Amino acid sequence: MKKTVHEITALNFEGNYLTIQVDGKFYKTDIHRYSQKLLRSDSTVRQHYEISPSGYGIHWPEIDEDLSVDALIRMGRH
């Protein structure tokens, strides 16, 4: 049975890299592959995000950007 909820316990930016901990595993990905809005945003905007109740999406309200957690997991490296 497919898991319907992700547990996101950490989300940080290191330069242009997004590091996220999902279901106990760490993933790191270059945000230029996903979001020009986040790439151009300063650290204050990047740190103001909302995680969906299901854990499947992350939303940055100030720039109206949404990223799929599943896509980040697929493209991120451990």
Residues 5-51 have pLDDT tens digits of 899 999 999 999 999 999 999 999 999 988 999 999 999 999 999 99
Residue 1 corresponds to which tokens in the numbers above? 């049975």
Out of 3.40.50.1000, 3.30.2020.40, 3.40.50.970, 2.60.40.10, select the CATH number for domain 8-75.
3.30.2020.40
pLDDT of residue 47: 96
**pTM for this predicted structure:** 0.85
Cβ contacts of 39-47, under 8 Å, gap ≥ 24: 43/13, 46/13, 47/13
pLDDT of residue 33: 87
